Structure 1
Amino acid sequence: MRDLMGMMKEMAGLKAKMEAMQAELDATLVEGRAGAGLVMVTLTAKGALRAVSIDPTLMKAEEKEILEDLIVAAHADARTRMESVIAEKTQGLMGGLPLPPGFKLPF
């Protein structure tokens, strides 16, 4: 019975840490770039789009498709960076708990 109580306390502590991490992820910004920085996208570490920056030189009608592709590429870059931030913070939070390979927490 003592082990069960200890595990319950540990789970309550883990829940508090998870809530704190969620708030931190919401405040953490990641930036993705494409076209040598001509297009930049800023996301929170939870995936919310916060900003898009486009260099004025790309604002030409004939550059429309290129601009669209660069926005998608910048977003993909930001998502990759976001996933790295989440993985890093989750690893610190979980403190070496053995999770199955490929298992991702729902953030």
Structure 2
Amino acid sequence: ALFLITNICTETITNNAAAALTFPIALSLSTELGVDPMPFFITICVAASASFSIPIGYQTNLIVQSVGGYKFKDFLKIGLPLNLIIFILSIILIPLIWEFTPIK
């Protein structure tokens, strides 16, 4: 859920703003669960960096859209599958690399 919330935010606002909005959620969630917050923070970083689906999510996407003559739906056709791939890889790899270790 944290990945999806961050990723949806980053499609409409800057990646820094999306991360800043979801960071307190991740910190509260990890504290409530009593686990290391690092996997949550990494999830936010990855999700906030995956702004592929619409051109307004990142400045260079807007430049590419205007210069290349791309339409909004062109970004969706390529961006949504890329976001899905990143989401699946994140679900698999983040817990393997950054374990949800209990905090004492």
TM-score (norm 1): 0.38
Would you tell me which structure has more helix in proportion to its own residues? 2
Q: Which has the higher strand share?
A: 1
Which structure exhibits the higher relative contact order, with contacts defined as CA atoms closer than 8 Å and separated by 6 or more residues?
2
- With the length of structure 2 as denominator, give the TM-score of the two structures: 0.39
Greater Cα radius of gyration, structure 1 or 2: 1
